[in-house]
């Protein structure tokens, strides 16, 4: 036999064996499923109803837990189940199932429920399994999603309902859909929960006929363990892993959340004024407050940043001190819109922020926002009294903020009264650094002079921008490019802010450089992403955090590409941040002028005359210039070094 025909025979044998094994496996599985579905009930072994939560960041889990305790208090005991700890082959044994399920990326379920969801889909599509597999089961599904995702809104919940029905289960209530960004989530869930209880107790909603509670929530079942082992369904779920989120502990929110008995709809979801809802619902409020934000009214926030505290203690300011001369202890971090139109992978709020494509919420007065922000900010500054290193002089200065970073979270230019708000700040001699996410070009065009206007340039190509920012807008790329064009028309200082995520966007130097010519920014800030702990929503690890040397190399490569149009002007090693500046504007006779003459800026604004970025620039001190041995650290401050937790580059 020739060697080629031997190889062909061996291949054939291998294929036949694999096929045989596959069919044996499939037919054993099928037989098992059919046996399970046809077995008679065993009244001796009542089986609890199962309350599944399919959750990635904890919202569905929190709601399910809330319902679980309510059912328990009504003597309707259910078992709370995380599908990752559940064997779907046991589904045919179930008689009563409630599911609270969220939807993620383009209609996908959270990772932890993938096997469970796939199992149902596979079984429903397997003609041999038939439509009787779950015929003893009654069920209801609640969907948790965001209406901002339009077509894929709550598709996981709807698909689950379809598959369960295809497999013969009887749906006792239609799918209810909660919208986390529509402000209705709690209300809809409350409504669904009430109907579930009514059905369980045999109320009118039970459109399959009988009240389920009459047959006992601990419904009858069989000992289905064909393999002779003990039925292990009563596993305790209490030890399940918590969704890791140091910043957003939805467990706590559940505690603070509305109680079924005492709260009405308005209290639960914020007041509705003239048909407009509060942007910050109680759930989002509790989450943000836990992260240290002070919420102002219904859509704004203020927070004291760690650099403000650091400079109050004389331990150094943030990179904006080195690059532009802001005094970090006199800087207030705030936003008039906690909502934005992205769900960026590095969003440090772990996606509890409201999202929307336009302003659809109740609107607070800009004067009230500014006054309250200053009031809350100064209260937080006062709390620093007595902290080691805080001198009375710096504390007094801190009580009169001179800068406002409108970049805290969210998208400040979504706020329709942003210009009035900026005016209010400038009138108080507070300079403005405003960061926009490059999704609202028309709003950028309408902006009045800002001390320094930033556009976040999170990626350089359409695909990577989609992957990193996860924008809501279908035309996000056009919006992004139009935002850069709008920036070009601005006369005051403009900045591209690049956040480098190693392995995601650090390779695209050419593509980034091409973006320079569109917006022609005065400055390009290049910063390594900050690692805020991992979460189910963000796949970032410490490996994605670039070293300062990586950021420097990237910046120098960009400068080289620009053929001298931009040069590396400053660095702040501590923040892993580097500044490129336009040489023809900000390098005069070999001296950098990246700092700001703030008084001059306010004079220019007050004058009402047109002015440009050159009119209020100031000389950069030598310690802040790129290559200085201080690494951008002000020698007047005391340095404290922090250990970094991942291994340095070899």
Ligand X SMILES: Cc1cc2nc3c(=O)[nH]c(=O)nc-3n(C[C@H](O)[C@H](O)[C@H](O)COP(=O)(O)O)c2cc1C
Question: In the bound complex, what is the minimum distance in angstroms from residue 146's beta carbon to ligand SF4?
Answer: 13
Note the residue count of the chain: 650
Binding residue (CB under 6 A) for ligand SF4 from 76, 81, 340, 465: 340
Q: Is 426 in the site for ligand SF4 (CB under 6 A)?
A: no
Binding residue (CB under 6 A) for ligand SF4 from 81, 172, 250, 344: 344
Closest CA to 230 of 91, 88, 90: 90
Question: In the bound complex, what is the minimum distance in angstroms from residue 54's beta carbon to ligand X?
Answer: 7
Closest CA to 334 of 446, 434, 187: 434
Interaction partner, residue 342 (ligand X, ligand SF4, none; CB < 5-8 Å by kind)? ligand SF4
Strands 300-303 and 294-296: antiparallel
Count of CB atoms within 10 A of residue 584's CB? 9
Confirm if 398 and 327 have CB atoms less than 8 A apart.
no
Interaction partner, residue 105 (ligand X, ligand SF4, none; CB < 5-8 Å by kind)? ligand X
Q: Which is nearer to ligand SF4, 82 or 411 (CB)?
A: 411
Query: What's the burial of 433, exposed, middle or buried (CB within 10 Å: 0-12/13-18/19+)?
Result: buried
Longest dimension (CA), the chain: 97
Q: Is 288 in the site for ligand SF4 (CB under 6 A)?
A: no
Q: Is 343 in the site for ligand SF4 (CB under 6 A)?
A: yes
**Cβ-proximal residue to ligand X, closest one:** 145
Q: Which is nearer to ligand X, 351 or 394 (CB)?
A: 351
Q: Which is nearer to ligand X, 110 or 412 (CB)?
A: 110
Residue 474: alpha-carbon gap to chain centroid = 19
Stretch of residues binding ligand SF4 (CB under 6 A), selected from 72-80, 284-292, 299-307, 341-349? 341-349
Q: Which is nearer to ligand SF4, 313 or 349 (CB)?
A: 349
Q: Which long-range contacts (CB under 8 A, 24 or more apart) does 639-648 make?
A: 639/315, 639/316, 640/315, 640/316, 645/542, 646/542, 646/543, 646/545, 648/547
Q: Which is nearer to ligand X, 145 or 401 (CB)?
A: 145
Question: In the bound complex, what is the minimum distance in angstroms from residue 72's beta carbon to ligand X?
Answer: 21
Tokens of 42: 């065993």
Binding residue (CB under 6 A) for ligand SF4 from 410, 412, 519, 546: 410
Q: Which is nearer to ligand X, 480 or 592 (CB)?
A: 480
Can you tell me the distance from the alpha carbon of 372 to that of 173, in angstroms, rounded to the nearest whole number? Answer: 46
Confirm if 535 and 489 have CB atoms less than 8 A apart.
no
**What secondary structure does DSSP assign to 40-107, as a single string?**
PPEEEEEE-EEEEEE-SSSHHHHHHHHHHHHHHHTT--EEEE-GGGS-GGGGGG-SEEEEEEE-BGGG
Q: Which is nearer to ligand SF4, 102 or 559 (CB)?
A: 102
SS3 of residue 18 by DSSP: helix
Stretch of residues binding ligand SF4 (CB under 6 A), selected from 184-192, 320-328, 336-344, 420-428? 336-344
* Residue 10: C-alpha distances to residues 23, 24, 103, 480, 531 (Å): 20, 21, 46, 57, 52
Q: Which is nearer to ligand SF4, 471 or 521 (CB)?
A: 471
SS3 of residue 404 by DSSP: strand
Interaction partner, residue 495 (ligand SF4, ligand X, none; CB < 5-8 Å by kind)? none
Q: Which is nearer to ligand X, 205 or 469 (CB)?
A: 469
Interaction partner, residue 535 (ligand SF4, ligand X, none; CB < 5-8 Å by kind)? none
Q: Which is nearer to ligand X, 192 or 454 (CB)?
A: 192
Interaction partner, residue 595 (ligand X, ligand SF4, none; CB < 5-8 Å by kind)? none
SS3 of residue 295 by DSSP: strand
Interaction partner, residue 347 (ligand SF4, ligand X, none; CB < 5-8 Å by kind)? ligand SF4
The beta strand positions in 246-358, using DSSP E, are 272-273, 276-277, 294-296, 300-303, 331-335
Interaction partner, residue 400 (ligand X, ligand SF4, none; CB < 5-8 Å by kind)? none
Q: Which is nearer to ligand X, 254 or 484 (CB)?
A: 254
Q: Is 437 in the site for ligand SF4 (CB under 6 A)?
A: yes
Question: In the bound complex, what is the minimum distance in angstroms from residue 343's beta carbon to ligand SF4?
Answer: 5
What number of chain residues touch ligand SF4 (CB under 6 A)?
10
Q: Is 354 in the site for ligand SF4 (CB under 6 A)?
A: no
Binding residue (CB under 6 A) for ligand SF4 from 154, 281, 353, 492: 353
The beta strand positions in 343-443, using DSSP E, are 403-406, 431-436
Question: In the bound complex, what is the minimum distance in angstroms from residue 359's beta carbon to ligand SF4?
Answer: 15
Confirm if 623 and 595 have CB atoms less than 8 A apart.
no
Confirm if 584 and 557 have CB atoms less than 8 A apart.
no
SS3 of residue 220 by DSSP: strand
Question: In the bound complex, what is the minimum distance in angstroms from residue 180's beta carbon to ligand X?
Answer: 4
Interaction partner, residue 154 (ligand X, ligand SF4, none; CB < 5-8 Å by kind)? ligand X
Question: In the bound complex, what is the minimum distance in angstroms from residue 399's beta carbon to ligand X?
Answer: 38
Question: In the bound complex, what is the minimum distance in angstroms from residue 335's beta carbon to ligand SF4?
Answer: 9
**What secondary structure does DSSP assign to 564-596, as a single string?**
TSEEEEEEEGGGTEEEEEEHHHHEETTEE--EE
Q: What residues line the site for ligand X (CB under 6 A)? A: 55-60, 102-107, 110, 144-146, 149, 152-154, 180, 343, 351, 470, 537
Q: Binding string, 484-523, against ligand SF4, x = CB under 6 A?
A: ----------------------------------------
Interaction partner, residue 537 (ligand X, ligand SF4, none; CB < 5-8 Å by kind)? ligand X
Question: In the bound complex, what is the minimum distance in angstroms from residue 175's beta carbon to ligand X?
Answer: 12
Count of CB atoms within 10 A of residue 215's CB? 15
Question: In the bound complex, what is the minimum distance in angstroms from residue 443's beta carbon to ligand SF4?
Answer: 14
Can you tell me the distance from the alpha carbon of 645 to that of 51, in angstroms, rounded to the nearest whole number? Answer: 40
Q: Which residues bind ligand SF4 (CB under 6 A)?
A: 340, 342-344, 347, 349, 353, 409-410, 437
């Amino acid at each position: 036999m020739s060697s080629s025909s031997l190889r062909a025979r061996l291949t054939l044998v291998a294929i036949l064996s694999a096929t045989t094994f596959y069919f044996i496996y499939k037919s054993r599985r099928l037989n098992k499923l059919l046996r399970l579905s046809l077995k008679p009930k065993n009244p001796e072994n009542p089986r609890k109803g199962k309350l599944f939560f399919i959750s990635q960041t904890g919202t569905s889990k929190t709601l399910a837990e809330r319902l679980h305790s309510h059912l328990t208090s009504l003597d309707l005991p259910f078992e709370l189940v995380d599908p990752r700890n559940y064997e779907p082959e046991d589904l045919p044994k179930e008689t009563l199932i409630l599911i609270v399920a969220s939807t993620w990326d383009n209609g996908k379920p959270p990772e932890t429920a993938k096997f469970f969801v796939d199992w149902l889909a596979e079984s429903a599509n397997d003609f041999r399994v038939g439509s009787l597999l779950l015929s003893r089961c009654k069920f209801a599904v609640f969907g948790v999603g965001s209406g901002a995702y339009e077509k894929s809104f709550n598709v996981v919940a709807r698909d689950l309902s379809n598959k369960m029905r295809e497999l013969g289960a009887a749906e006792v209530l239609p799918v209810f859909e909660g919208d986390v960004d529509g402000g209705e989530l709690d209300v809809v869930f409350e409504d669904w929960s009430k109907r579930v209880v009514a059905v369980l107790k045999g109320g009118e909603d039970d459109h399959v006929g009988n009240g389920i509670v009459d047959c006992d929530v601990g419904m009858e079942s069989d000992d289905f363990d064909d393999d002779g082992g003990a039925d292990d369904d009563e596993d305790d779920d209490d030890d399940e892993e918590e969704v890791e989120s140091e910043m957003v502990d939805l467990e706590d929110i559940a505690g603070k959340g509305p109680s079924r008995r005492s709260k009405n709809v308005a209290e639960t979801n914020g007041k509705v004024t003239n048909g407009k809802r509060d942007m910050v619902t109680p759930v989002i409020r509790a989450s943000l407050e836990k992260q240290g934000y002070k919420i102002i009214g219904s859509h704004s926030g203020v927070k004291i940043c760690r650099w403000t505290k650091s400079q109050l203690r004389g331990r150094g300011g943030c990179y904006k001190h080195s690059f532009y001369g802001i005094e970090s202890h006199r800087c207030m971090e705030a936003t008039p819109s906690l909502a934005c139109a992205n769900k960026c992978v590095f969003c440090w709020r772990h996606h509890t922020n409201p999202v929307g494509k336009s302003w659809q919420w109740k609107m607070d007065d800009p004067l009230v926002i500014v006054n309250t922000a200053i009031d809350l900010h100064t209260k937080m500054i006062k709390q620093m009294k007595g902290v080691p290193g805080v001198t009375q002089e710096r504390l007094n200065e801190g009580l009169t903020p001179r800068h406002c970073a409108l970049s805290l979270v969210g998208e400040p230019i979504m706020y329709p009264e942003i210009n009035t708000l900026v005016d209010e700040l400038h009138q108080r001699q507070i300079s403005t650094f405003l960061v926009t996410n490059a999704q609202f070009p028309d709003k950028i065009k309408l902006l009045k002079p800002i001390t320094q206007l930033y556009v976040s340039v999170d990626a350089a190509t359409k695909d990577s921008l989609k992957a990193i920012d996860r924008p809501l807008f279908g035309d996000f790329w056009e919006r992004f490019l139009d935002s850069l064009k709008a920036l070009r028309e601005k006369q005051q200082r403009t900045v591209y802010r690049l956040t480098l995520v190693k392995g995601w966007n650090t390779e695209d130097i050419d593509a980034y450089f091409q973006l320079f010519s569109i917006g022609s920014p005065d400055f390009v800030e290049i910063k390594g992403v900050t690692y805020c702990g991992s979460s189910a929503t963000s796949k970032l690890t410490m490996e994605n955090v670039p070293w300062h040397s990586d950021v420097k190399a990237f910046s120098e490569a960009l400068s080289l590409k620009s053929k001298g149009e931009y040069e590396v002007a400053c660095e702040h090693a501590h923040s892993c941040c580097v500044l490129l500046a336009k040489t023809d504007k900000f390098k005069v006779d070999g001296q950098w002028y990246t700092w700001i003459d703030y008084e001059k800026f306010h004079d220019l604004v007050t004058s009402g005359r047109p002015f440009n970025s050159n009119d209020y620039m100031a000389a950069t001190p030598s310690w802040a210039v790129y290559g200085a041995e201080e690494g951008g650290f002000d020698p007047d401050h005391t340095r404290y070094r922090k250990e970094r937790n991942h291994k340095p580059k070899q």
